[in-house]
Structure 1
Amino acid sequence: METSPVACRTLEEFYHIESHTFEKQYKESLSGYRDWDQLGHADEWLLFSDNIGPRLAIDESSLSNGELYTFVTNRDARTRERSLVAVVAGTKSEDVTAVLLRIDEEKRNAVEEVTLDLSDSMRKIVRTAFPKAGRVIDRFHIQKLACDAVQELRIKHRWDAIQQANDEMEEAGMCGKDYVPFRYPNGDTRKELLIRSRYLLFKSADKWTDRQKQRAEILFEEYPDIQKAYGLCHSLRMIFSKNTIKDAARLSMARWYNKMEEAGIHSFNVIAATFHGHYDEILNFYNNRSSNAMAESFNAKIKLFRANLRGVADKKFFLFRIANLYAYPQ
């Protein structure tokens, strides 16, 4: 059974105890925090080399005030006990690598696969610390890039629509007329069409409501470049969704890349550069269909615990509690 972190304020609500007093007693006497063997360097790094496994994930997370820490987790532990392998302050590759190199070389060489995002520093960390492991770029980060490119194009047209409306309003005022904005058959103005199309562009067409279908039809007729970008984004999603072999995926990806270049959409230039630099690591997804979902789940648990505490006042003690939950056997 999975253990969930509990804040002292929660106990105060249910058991009518004074939370600040209990929190202090728990920290100083009940928890074993002062006898913790990693207390001296806890705000800089934590290492639990016994938790390492053949399939790892590496990601970054914020503890407080946007201060980032790098987390390495064992994917097979599924964000439960003994899932935490290492925590290092910051994302600098040299700092994280120095901590991971404390793990026995034999254990590090036994790592077969590491999932990560598009960060070059994470890539360098994995390449140095786990030299025999295959690196898998998380498919959802690639899909997010494509979705962001579509939204960037929509936002560009939205700003143009706002400027056009302002110009028309100014012109009507100069002519002493009331400004009446142009409206499409569904009742949207140009600005409203582009604002209200945001969510439908994230969804597959077969999941659109009737109103969204009508809005999409108007949007694509008015802005064919958005339709083209949406089509590219959707076809990329379908490539990842198909249960296919790596060689077939390579061919599909190459065809998609050619379509993207032919489209000539500026907002897709970042994706083109990403594909060029990470092509093999993106395709490694098809070896085991691995993703960084476990790392994202671990991040979500940290954020929830942080929210329950209403912020992190003592980073060392916060990390101690995280370690108790996810690094040691229950």
Structure 2
Amino acid sequence: MSSLAEHYGLDAKQLESQYKNHLSNYREWDQLSHAQDWILFEKNIGSYVGLDETSLSRGELYTVLINKDAKGRKGSIIAMIKGTSVKTVCDVLLQLSRRRRFQVREITLDMASNMGQIAKVCFPAARQVVDRFHVQQLAFEAVQEMRIKARWEAMDKENLEMAYSKACGQTYQPEVFGNGDTRKQLLARSRYLLFKKDIAWNPSQSRRAEILFREYPCIKKAYYLSLRLGLIYHQCKHADTAMTRLARWYDEVDKTGFESFGTVARTVQTHYLRIVNFFARRSTNAASESFNAKIKAFRAQLRGVRDVSFFLYRLSNIYG
């Protein structure tokens, strides 16, 4: 808007105001009265939908329901509702006709309990599928938790050794490994390689991983546990096979005694029925994540959101 105003020699604020109040038909929008809290497009509902949350401004969360068949284009938005409360979201989604709601055959979502309750109440005939990337992310975070714990211990040990050397009037010389890293640096610089498959490591990462796994066998075991969880998704074609592999993986985790992985295993056990639903159509919530990225990119283009209702109006013109 500022670029257009500058090109035609107009006042940018005045042009923006005229566009908003007269040229855009914003004031005649049929959802203007409640746009601050929710917008709803019943005609956009389809058989396969995605449920997620996103932030528009000042950290305020909106629950977003999209039609995955629209492929992120016109007709993607089914609903955007301020907040993530089950009652608030359900009150809006239940305004959709019963026929339309029972038309939904599958809904992808994360493991948040409120999302599961919303899906159950509003779309009781739909198969719920927990996004595979959220499950795998839990395992990666468990590995990182073990790395961070080891790093704090290494830092604490180094501080004590430095204090002891100073008290003895000696110069402190930290332990240096073959690749030039100190123990503290080794643990700090191993962060990104633990997110990648070992076949994707470059030579320096392979060398660092070799030293890390030699010094910390528990991190090595945790790393390969996280990879094996990903292989279940990659290799299994049927739900029965996946359930068997998940049960074996759960037993492996139980035997290790890793506290952080115990939490992952219990989470997988709690949601296993919705997790194995993935193998029916291999559906993920990538469409919702991609749509959230589009919202954030649009927000960045506008340099933030000052008027939420007008922002949602413009968003609905593109994706509604």
Normalised TM-score (structure 2): 0.97
Measure how far apart 1:11 and its partner are: 4.2
1:294 Cα deviation after fit: 0.5
Q: Secondary structure at the match of 2:304?
A: coil
Choose the corresponding residue for 2:110, options 106, 117, 121: 117
Q: Which runs of 4+ in 1 moved over 6 A?
A: 13-16
How far is 1:270 from its partner? Answer: 2.2
Q: 1:145 to 1:15 in 2, by over 3 A?
A: farther
Q: Deviations over 1:76-110 (max 9, x none)?
A: 00111011001111000111111111111011111
Q: Residue 137 of structure 1 is aligned with which of 126, 130, 140? A: 130
* Farther off after superposition, 46-55 or 14-23: 14-23
Instruction: Give distance in 2, aligned partners of 1:212 and 1:18.
Output: 55
The equivalent residue for 1:188 is 181
CA deviations 1:281-322 (Å, max 9, x no partner) are: 000010000000010011001111111111110000011111
Aligned equivalent of 1:260: 253
Q: Partner residue of 2:310?
A: 317
Q: CA deviation at 1:22?
A: 2.2
Q: Is the 8 A contact 2:72 2:287 kept in 1?
A: yes
Partner of 2:49: 56
- Structure 1 distance, partners of 2:64, 2:196, is 31
Distance 1:324 1:230, change over 3 A: same
- Is 1:165 matched with 2:150? no
Output the CA distance in 1 between the equivalents of 2:297 and 2:316.
15
- The corresponding residue for 2:23 is 30
Distance 2:25 2:236 in 1: 49
2:236–2:242 CA contact under 8 A, matched in 1: no
Tell me the equivalent position of 2:238: 245
CA pair 14-186 structure 1, distance change in 2 beyond 3 A:
farther
**1:101-147: CA deviation from partner (whole Å, max 9, x where unpaired):** 11110111111000001110010000000000000000000011111
- 2:86 alignment partner in structure 1: 93
CA distance in 2, matches of 1:237, 1:161: 30
CA distance in 2, matches of 1:112, 1:295: 17
CA distance in 2, matches of 1:14, 1:209: 50
Secondary structure of the corresponding residue to residue 64 of structure 1 = coil
Of 41, 45, 64, 2:38 maps to: 45
For residues 283 and 125 of structure 1, the distance between their equivalents in structure 2, rounded to whole angstroms, comes to 20
Q: Which amino acid aligns with 2:223?
A: Y
- SS of residue paired to 2:56: strand
Match of 1:298 among 291, 301, 305: 291
Using the size of structure 1 for normalisation, the TM-score is 0.94
Q: Which residue of 1 aligns with 2:200?
A: 207
Deviation per residue, 1:146-185 (Å, 9 max, x gap): 1111101100000001001100100000000111111111
Residue 70 of structure 1 corresponds to 63
CA–CA separation in structure 1 for the residues paired with 2:61 and 2:317: 20
Percent sequence identity over matched residues? 49
Quick one: which of 227, 232, 236 aligns to 1:234? Answer: 227
Q: Deviations over 1:27-74 (max 9, x none)?
A: 111111000000000011111011000000010000001000000000
Amino acid at match of 1:79: G
Unaligned runs of 5+ in 2: none
1:289 corresponds, among 257, 260, 282, to: 282
